[in-house]
Structure formats: C-alpha cells, structure tokens
Amino acid sequence: MDRINFWQEACAALLLCATPIGLPAQILTTLVSFNGTNGDFPGNGALVQGTDGNFYGTTLGSGNGSKGAAGTVFKITPGGELTTLYNFCSKSGCTDGATPYAGLIQASDGNLYGTTFQGGANDSGTVFRITSGGALTTLYSFCSQPGPLGPPFGCADGVSPSVGLIQASDGNLYGTTPSGGATNPIGLGGPNGIGTVFRITLGGTLTTLYSFCSQPQCADGGQPTAGLIQATDGNLYGTTESTAFKLSLEGALTTLYTFCSVDCPLPSGLIQATDGNFYGTTVGGGTSDDGTVFKMTPAGALTTLYSFCSRPGCTDGEGPLTGLIQASDGNFYGTTPLGGGSGVGTVFKITPGGTLTTLYTFSDGSDGASPIAGLLQATDGNFYGTTMGGSFGDATYGGTVFKLTPASSAPAINQSDGILNGASFEAGIVAGSLITIFGIDLSLITDSWSNAIVNGNLPTSLDGVKVSVGGEAAYISYISPTQINALAPNVGTGLVPVTVTNSSGTSSAVTVTVEAVGPAFFRWGNYAVATTQDFSPAVKNGTIPDVTTTPAKPGETIILWGTGFGPTSPAAPVGVETPSGTTYNTANTVTVTVGGTAATVFSAALAPGFAGLYQVAIQIPASLANGDYPVIATVLGAQSPVTTLITVQQ
C-alpha cells in the first residue's frame, strides 16, 4: 500500500522532497462526433490533457470538409466544445506535414509536439511544434539524410513516424520511425531500412540514436511501430514488431525479449507500473491468437497475463492495438478495436494479477466503433479516448471523442488500520495534528489542498470529499481512492467515530482513540526528517534520491519535524495555517534523546505557514561517535517510535 506522507506538504518550502477507478465503468458520454467539417478518423495516439485543462489530439482527415485531406490538430474542452487548431497540408506540397497518425505531448515549454506520417520537404513525415493557439512550426522533415545506398535511395534519419514523442529527463524529445535508418538488410524494408530511434531537440536538431537490424540476423528487431517510455533507471524502453528493448540515451541497445511463440505478433508500447515491471499488449498471439496482455520484468522475463477472445463471442475483445495506462486505482486500462458484443471494440480493465473486466462495449452507433488509440485518465478521474469509426450518415467520415465515467461505491474505511497518526502510521490520533485514513473508494481522483487554501483558511471539503471526526469536520490535505490525509479537528480525548463522505455516499463509522499527545517524527525511510537551521537536509547522504545531503554533526543544532505533540501555548487558531506573527510553543515539555543520550531541546513549536506540523530544535549530544542512533521524543510520558533513526557523523 502506498502511503503518502504529510511531509510532502512541507517539501516545497524547505527545498527537500518527493511525492506519492475502483469499479467497472458504465457511463459513456460521446463528446464529439467527427463529420468531416471538424476532422475525421482520430489516429492511434491517445489524447493529452494540457495544463489549461483542455484535451488535445489529431485526426487523419481534414477539418475543412475536403475528403482525403491531410489531417488536423484539435482542442476539446471537458464539456465537449471542439476547436480545430490546424489543418495539415495548408502549404504547397504539404511541406507542413500530412496524416498525423500519432497523438501529441505537451513539453516543458508549454507547447505541443507531434509527428506526421507523410508530408514535409521529402514527403516522408515530419516533427512539428504547435502552440495551444494553433501556430504550427515544422521542426524536421524526414529523409533529409541519405541512407546506406546513397542518393536518391535510403533515408538514414528514418521515414514516416507513426507514433508520438516523449520528452526525456534531458529535455529532448525521443521517438521512433518504422522504416529508414543506416542499415540496409537484404529483403527487409527495401532501400530504406527497417526503422530507427531518434532524438530531437526542441529547436529541431535531429540525431539518429539507433538503426535497427544493426545486429546479425536482425536480432535487435525492426519496424518499431510503438512509442518509447523513459523508465525510472533513466533508459528508454520500447518494442519492435518482434522484440522488447532497452536503449540508453547514448544509443546502446539491449534486446530484452524476442516475441513469437504464443505471445506474438506486434507488441504495443510499454508502460512501467508502480511495481517497477513493464506491461503491454500484443495484437495477436495468445491462446486464441487474438492478442494478449503481458508483464515483463526489467530483466526481460515475460508473463502472459491474459489472452483475448477467451469468452464466447469474443465479448472480452480482440486485437488490442495500443498499450495500457495504469490508473489511480492501480489497475490497468485499455481498448480493443474488435470484439465485444457488437464486434466493434471494448474498453477493459485488468488487474496486475490478470483479472480482466470488460467495462464498455461499443455499438457502432453514435457511441463510436473501433477504438484504436489508448486511454487517458484526466484530472477529474474520468477516462477519455477516441474511436476510429462511428456512423455519421456518411461512411467517408467517422470517429468520436468519448468520456467514460467510472462507477463508484460509497467510501469504506479500513477497519483494522484505517485511521492512523500521519507521521508514524501508528494507531491513535491527536486533536490538531495530522492523520491518515486508508480505505477504498475514498475519492474518484487524487488531489491536494495546495490550490484550496484561501487566505490561509484550510478546506473542510476537497473535491466533494469530507471527513468527520467525532462529529467535527476535519481539514482535508490530500485525497486519493485509497488514502486521505487530514488535520484532525479539536475534539476531546477518548473513542470517537470517523466517517468519510463523497459524492457516492458516506462510509460506515470506524472508531478511533483520540489521545492528548502522540509524538512522531516524519521520516525518509527509517530516518527522521531533520534539517539544519537553514533548512538543508541533515541526513545520511543517499537517503533522498538525487539530493546531496550532509548528516548532523556532534554538537550541531538541527530541527526535527513531526506531528502529534499536543496543544500549544497560546492555543493555536483552528482551521488556518499557523500564523507567523506568534510562536505557538507546545504546552507540555518535550524531551529528546539521541541514542539514549539526552539532547538539549531549544524549542518545540508549530511551524509557521503550515498546519499540524511541529518543529523541534535540538542540539546533537557532543559525546556521540559516528553512527545511526534512535531519536526519541517524549511528551507527557508518550514516546515517539523507537525505530526512527538519525545519522551522526563528524
């Protein structure tokens, strides 16, 4: 179970840190039906939600009513208002590109980037940039570099990209082409080769990182028809028509798996899930040769989780063309263009263990048909996607944009360990301190109070989610389907009921003990969150990924951060961020030991500008040698967890 610590709320201010739908969806809303005047036939790329909250995508057909024209870029609001931002082939010779099969990404500069399959200076496809207002710039035209056979044959830089781009951690964009490259295998791909991986800067400088069939017998694969991802190890991962591969940003390729037994052909793109493994689909293969869902470890060990057409009439779907997404509930979601009750496609959910649920079956009517693109889970918790077909009175035109709303049940709090101290995750809560609630269906979406705090006032409702503690409203800090973080209201000690309310109802009450104090320090792993007086981390180096840190020294003054230290003097105001004009010291004496040796405690008070967050300033005992020591706070006889450590190093 992922547990999102309250310390994330303080990270930005202290320059420290890091972060963190349940039931079958049944309600499909068609937002747009394409009709030729607004585009037609959305391609194989999923929608992208921009920072402005709108969705952006592409169609293969035009938005000017001209049959056979070269495609569009469109914007659609969550309410379904569509705007055609650009019609391709607007320039002579289609030098601006044509036929954008792939979807878009929004890069760090705020602009949208994509590819076209055709058009450009050499009619071999392009990479383009487009603003949210529709101003398009062609960054690169493929087949600008001669291939191994020399002019006029070959395209060493690739031909006709058919999938979208990613932006990697170095700020550059990466993508694939299904043909072209610097190799020329006899009988494969003609003079153009069988595909590349490329890097392109935001300014348009393209580098071919890898040309497929560079290894004997093309053991590295060829014709990559899916996009890339960048995994947590920094490498790129992708698939060809027969392999799954890893590629460093410098261009070193490792073949992880070679398809084609019962698990082939044509694997889709990969995703890396929260468990660190990779998941994807294949168009064919499996027990019925109608496609699969698979899991692959980073080392390349592959497991087939599900074979499609395992149910009579293929009601579970056939031939998934695109990959999966992992939603906020931890499950995977995708589409099939065939199968289902009407034979024209489905939306499905599959658990990491391989249990598949068909969420929606398309009917080839106004709801669309043949979803060949993947899904997007938007910030509102709903799923958005496109279909390639759907009747609009003229077979020349087709396609839809749809929203799929997950059905939900009333929230439920875990009975055994559902309500805990927000720092220690131990039983018992303290009035005016941070708490964590675990359960299911607590919220349809994930959100925090960062945009809901107005003039310092804390929200008692966040996206319709409310928490009652002993009949008093708690202040909601973070919500997700399985976890809520909150600030407990000022209620008396003893047993009190806790409930969660959202748009689907109110949970059954779970009883929790409210204690006078319950001190606990927030932690990075096993180590207490500690800073120097200038708020730089005072922790063993390597504790915080990608952050260089220095442990506390003997005799040094540091600040420990926690919750549950009880009432303050003067009493802190309720329901607001702690004001900075007054020091709200703990009403009861706080003592701290480090490795069993008493530390000097200079102050213990609420942190200004936060809520329920205490800062305890201590001096590390000068007598301590280098090492890891338990750091324990005591208030009114109650101790913080003895498993919390601090590193002391001269």
Choose among 117, 199, 220: nearest CA to 163: 117
Per-residue DSSP letter, 260: -
List where CATH 2.60.40.10 sits in the chain.
Answer: 412-515, 520-648
Nearest to 624 by CA among 551, 537, 562, 525: 551
Q: Is the dihedral of CA 617, 622, 625, 631 positive or negative?
A: negative
pLDDT at 554: 97
Examine residue 570 and say whether the peptide bond preceding it is cis (omega within 30 degrees of 0). yes
Could you tell me which of 382, 356, 365, 485 has the C-alpha nearest to residue 433? Answer: 485
Q: How confident is the model at residue 391 (pLDDT cuts 50, 70, 90)?
A: low
Number of neighbours of residue 625 by Cβ within 10 angstroms: 10
Rounded mean pLDDT, 475-501 = 96
Residues 209 and 196: their CA atoms lie apart, in Å, by 7
For residue 133, is pLDDT > 60?
yes
Q: Kindly state the tokens that stand for 113.
A: 């980037």
Q: What is the chain's length?
A: 650
Phi, psi of 190 (to 5 degrees): 60, -150
| Whole-number Å distance between alpha carbons of 540 and 523 | 12
The 10s digit of each residue's pLDDT in 538-567 is: 999 888 888 889 999 999 999 999 999 999
Q: Identify the band that residue 504 occupies on the pLDDT scale cut at 50, 70 and 90.
A: confident
The whole model's pTM is what?
A: 0.67
Mean pLDDT, residues 130-147: 93
The DSSP-derived string for 466-534 is: EEEETTEEPEEEEE-SSEEEEEPPS--SEEEEEEEEETTEEPPPEEEEEES---EE-EETTEE-EE-TT
Average pLDDT over residues 270-297: 94
Q: Which of 512, 341, 333 is nearest to 418 (CA)?
A: 512
Tokens describing residue 244: 């799954």
CA distance 441 to 423: 23
156, amino acid identity? A
pLDDT at 260: 76
Q: What rounded mean pLDDT belongs to the chain?
A: 89
CATH architecture assigned to 520-648: Sandwich (2.60)
Pairing label, strands 494-502, 483-487: unpaired
Got the DSSP string for 22-80? -S-EEEEEEEEE--SSS-EEE-SSPPEE-TTS-EEEEEEE-SSS-TT---EEEEE-TT-
Q: Provide the pLDDT confidence category of residue 9 given band limits of 50, 70 and 90.
A: very low
Do 249 and 211 form a contact (C-beta atoms < 8 A)?
A: no
Task: Say which DSSP state 454 is in.
Answer: B
- Identity of the amino acid at 555: G
Task: Convert the pLDDT of each residue in 336-377 to its tens digit.
Answer: 999 998 899 999 999 999 999 999 999 877 789 999 999 999
User: Residue 93, SS3?
Assistant: helix
59 with 43: CB under 8 angstroms?
A: yes
pLDDT recorded at residue 584: 98
**Does the domain formed by 412-515 have CATH 2.40.50.140?**
no
SS (H, E, C) 404-415: EEECCCCCEECC
- The torsion region of residue 301 among left (phi > 0), alpha (psi -120 to 50) and beta comes to beta
Burial class (CB in 10 A: 0-12, 13-18, 19+), 159: buried
Residue 447, helix vs strand vs coil: strand
Closest by CA position to 16, among listed 585, 487, 561, 449? 561
Distance CA 619, CA 603 (A): 11
What's the pLDDT tens digit per position in 31-41?
999 988 888 89
* Per-residue confidence (pLDDT) for residue 67, from 0 to 100: 47
Give the burial class of 131: count Cβ atoms within 10 A of its Cβ; 0-12 exposed, 13-18 middle, 19 or more buried.
Answer: middle
pLDDT tens, 220-230? 989 998 999 99
At 9 the three-state DSSP class reads helix
